[in-house]
Amino acid sequence: MSSAQDAAPWSLRRLPEESALERYRTLRGEPDVELELPEGRNSVAAASLIGADAIARGRSVVYVTSDELVDQTVKQIAALPEPAAVNLHRGMNQLRDLVAHHNAQALGVLGFSTYFSANPRIDPADVVLLDTDRIGDGVIGSLFMVRVDRRLQPHAYEQLRELIGASATPRVLEADGWTPVAARVGELLTGLFCGESTQFVWLRLQPFLGDCQVVVGPDDIEIRPPHELLHSLPGYRHAGQRVHLSTAPAEAAAADVDAAELDLAGLSPSVRYAMDYLRTCFTDPDLTLNRVASAVYMSRYHFSRSFREQTGWRFIDFVTMLRMNEARFLLRETSTSITDVARAVGYRELSHFQRMFKKRFGMSASSYRAGAGSARERDLQVV
């Protein structure tokens, strides 16, 4: 039998995604908003609620997702009570749909390639809802990656090889090998990629050359844009507000896993370096996500997503794990005061440390120390 909520009319139902709408309403005045939904929540449903709120205030709204999900997204929104959704993808639009979108009567749905192309058919909206989970580096790279082919551009390819070296198998060029020559590469390629068909791509990519990922192969060299290039595109810059919607991945299976036990083999060089970096400086109270992202030559947003996708941990949770494991060791093996333990692992405020320790281990630091002492006494009696 259906639950009471299932039987209730739409007007009386409360969708799980409404918490995202509530958070959004507190951030209406911000030009950039990041909303992370709990695992299993529907980003399309959250987008429809936020879109309806913005449309009710007279704002034009678009929802940007990957190209292949546009039709599916329109159907999902159509199944919800509001707002109306119109398919604006590929520029093949009926006049009434365009009018409904521009007059803030319907939420426009379109793919990344349509909204952010060289010749967009849709003006930047008052509110842009970005399906962040579907708009990753691969989607951005599909439009803005530059490839120098050995057969099609032999002269440019040979010049690049002299600067960055050749490779019999594809390899990712490390930052220390790319950053010093990025400006010179830009000079070499400007003439090549400023033709009529490639000018838009090259002009958008060139300012970010130093942050690009470069893949060197035997037949071509690929220069792949960083995620932050998105922020320079007209559809993004000129929008009244950008709302990034994402869903949280599952939490790490074992909350007590030691950092040393994590498998590093599948990590990218940047994330692997970041983890090594964190192991050496996690006790620094001034440690921040921005600082670590800068250390690995990545944008804050790109690093945060890459770290979580590859390790299964949010950055702050991983740092907390390192600190708590070190604190547990100091409480168990030394007589250092709890206040000094808190400072030693990176907490300026004892109350913050106490709160995090109890959240992680289910007991206060003093209770843990007392229990560890009792265990040592029992061990000595047995011996």
The pLDDT tens digits for 44-83 are 889 999 999 999 999 999 999 888 888 889 988 988 888 9
- Is the separation of the CB atoms in 245 and 170 below 8 Å? no
Average pLDDT, the chain: 81
The 8-class DSSP code of residue 110 comes to E
Task: Give residue limits of the domains in the chain.
Answer: 4-137+233-247, 146-224, 251-383
Is residue 79 within a helix (H) or strand (E), and if so which, with residue range? none
Least confident of 252-261, 262-271, 304-313: 252-261
Size (the chain), residues:
383
pLDDT for position 196: 59
Given a cut of 60, whether residue 12 has pLDDT beyond it is: no
Helices 365-382/350-361 angle, 10° precision: 60
Average pLDDT of the residues in 292-297: 82
CATH topology of domain 4-137+233-247: Rossmann fold (3.40.50)
Please state, in angstroms and rounded to a whole number, the distance separating the CA atoms of residues 176 and 169.
Answer: 20
Please state, in angstroms and rounded to a whole number, the distance separating the CA atoms of residues 82 and 97.
Answer: 16
- Is the separation of the CB atoms in 44 and 245 below 8 Å? no
Read off the amino acid at residue 29. Answer: G
Please state, in angstroms and rounded to a whole number, the distance separating the CA atoms of residues 10 and 49.
Answer: 13
* Residue 227 banded pLDDT, cuts 50, 70, 90: confident
Contacts 24+ apart (CB under 8 A), 148-152: 148/189, 148/192, 148/220, 148/221, 148/223, 149/219, 149/220, 150/218, 150/219, 150/220, 151/219
pTM more than 0.75: no
Q: Which CATH superfamily groups domain 251-383?
A: Homeodomain-like (1.10.10.60)
The contacts of residue 348 (CB under 8 Å, 6+ apart) are 285
Count of beta carbons in the 10 Å neighbourhood of residue 154: 11
Place of tokens 């068909």: 197
Please state, in angstroms and rounded to a whole number, the distance separating the CA atoms of residues 47 and 55.
Answer: 12
- Is the separation of the CB atoms in 142 and 178 below 8 Å? no
* Residue 128 banded pLDDT, cuts 50, 70, 90: very high
Read off the amino acid at residue 258. Answer: D
Backbone angles phi, psi at 64, to 5 degrees: -105, 125
Nearest to 61 by CA among 16, 125, 114, 139: 125
